[in-house]
Amino acid sequence: MTGRLEGKVALITGGASGMGAATAELFAAEGASVAVTDFNAALSGSVVDAITASGGIAEFFEMDVAREASVASAVSGAVARFGGLDVLVNCAGVIGVDKPTHEVTEEEWDALFAVDVKGVFFATKHAVPHLIERGGGSIVNFSSIYGLIGNDEFTPYHVAKGAVTMQTKQDAASYGRYGIRVNSVHPSTVLTPLVEGIASAYPGGLPAYEEMMTANQSIRRLGRPVEVAYAVLYLASDESAWVTGVNLPLDGGYTAR
């Protein structure tokens, strides 16, 4: 039985850890050749080593998503290495400062948007010509539930993820004529290494943190990176050939309540 991404080439930004790494590993297990991109070479190398040790195909390409030249170089390098591109996953992101609008400095705002918004713009800009050349493909953007709803924390991050939500719809409208589908996933809190560190420092540890963070969810637990990765896999695969412009919450029912 062939994998769900057999014969496809996928490039994943922010692939060194967390949901990006889980997506890279799942894609490779499903038959894709995976370009793992990140600014962290050491962590990315571990992901690539794990994939190749399991019989998958992966290679690391250094990428700073906030710098267009770096993005262009990594995309062209991956295309040269694997012979084309079928899937782009825009996972790279930072959370930035936890301040309301009137307290955020211009430098803090710009630093966050350089990664979370311009990073998606740059990667999409440089991937699209290769997807057109391929006759179509899939782009999956990582937004957040806070790209759909508001709350009183991390304002710059949430506004940036709102921009990613809209870019998803705009690019879906623009590129469907080329057979390119563009969708986004919107996780709530997922048990990544970053979240594990935050949870361990929380009074009462992970159980107390999980109870607090999932109080508004229907399914009262944190998500796991692989659960997000399976949703990305569906959107990347030909199984979702008629799906584009969708903003898919992965949130245990948070936005349903």
Q: Which residues have a catalytic role annotated?
A: 157
Contact 104, 156 (CB under 8 A): yes
CA atoms 187, 188, 190, 196: torsion sign: positive
SS3 152: coil
Task: Classify burial at 13, counting beta carbons within 10 Å of its beta carbon; exposed 0-12, middle 13-18, buried 19 or more.
Answer: buried
Separation between Cα atoms, residue 244 and residue 183, nearest integer Å: 6
The 3-state secondary structure of 25-84 reads: HHHHHCCCEEEEEECCHHHHHHHHHHHHHCCCEEEEEECCCCCHHHHHHHHHHHHHHHCC
